[in-house]
Amino acid sequence: MTVDSRWWEQPVLIGRHVRLEPLTQEHAEGLHAAGKDPEIWRWLSWRQPIELDDTRRIIDVGTADRERGFRLPWAQIDQRTGEVAGTTSYYEITPEHRGVAIGYTWIGAPWQRTALNTEAKLLLLARAFELLDANRVTWHTDINNLRSQRAIARLGAVREGVHRAHRIRPDGSLRDTVTFSMIKQEWPGARERLTARLVN
């Protein structure tokens, strides 16, 4: 089977509200500033970075993940101000099954529940379904992260179930993970709803 190399490409994705750029150390200071609110990190797999070097190490992990073909991390840039708003990634990239997950996502408090966040998801979903011809896009989130679950559901994704004792949290406790998905047939309706939210 010939694998479409575009699944591993990571172009800059540009919208009206957000620009997604491959995450590099050039984004470190802005990313560190965006992550100042401790609430952002409550349910994430990383502890909150206290020093700039901690944020640089997180970016280094993303770079290593990219090099080993596990994850493609983007910086989310506010098109209006040029500020780094957060980060998001493709991961679990399986071109042989035409599937990808969206995750490793967080944005600073000023951009939560904004057009920037909505458009970032729209750009990633459009690339997956319209360019890569994905059959399925997946999301995973902590069972206790109700805000994340509501946000994923608002995209039009379907809650599929729970993976028990799926991950170990930074504090050592076991995490149950809720899985959502969107399949190709659901994308046109989701695209219409998300586009309408950007207009309103």
Mean pLDDT over 93-109 rounds to 96
Q: What percent of the chain has pLDDT over 70?
A: 98
Mean pLDDT (the chain) is: 95
Query: What class does CATH assign to 5-199?
Result: alpha beta
pLDDT confidence tier of residue 1, bands split at 50, 70 and 90: low
pLDDT confidence tier of residue 4, bands split at 50, 70 and 90: confident
DSSP, collapsed to helix, strand or coil, labels residue 139 as strand
Mean pLDDT over 145-162 rounds to 95
Q: Which residues pair with 101 in a beta bridge?
A: 91, 138
Residue 3 has pLDDT above 80, yes or no: no
> What is the identity of the amino acid at 34?
A
Higher-pLDDT residue of 200 and 135 is: 135
Q: Which residues pair with 86 in a beta bridge?
A: 76, 107
- Closest to 104 in 3D by CA, of 140, 79, 78, 67: 140
Residue keyed to tokens 């379907």: 158
Residue 2 has pLDDT above 80, yes or no: no
> What is the identity of the amino acid at 146?
L
Per-residue pLDDT at 200 = 62
Residue 149 has pLDDT above 90, yes or no: yes
- Give the phi and the psi of residue 23 in degrees, each rounded to 5: -70, 125
Per-residue pLDDT at 22 = 98
Strands 18-22 and 136-142: unpaired
**What is d(CA 76, CA 70) in angstroms, rounded to the nearest whole number?**
19
Q: What percent of the chain has pLDDT over 90?
A: 94
Mean pLDDT over 62-69 rounds to 96
| Residue 114 contacts residue 81 (beta carbons within 8 Å) | no
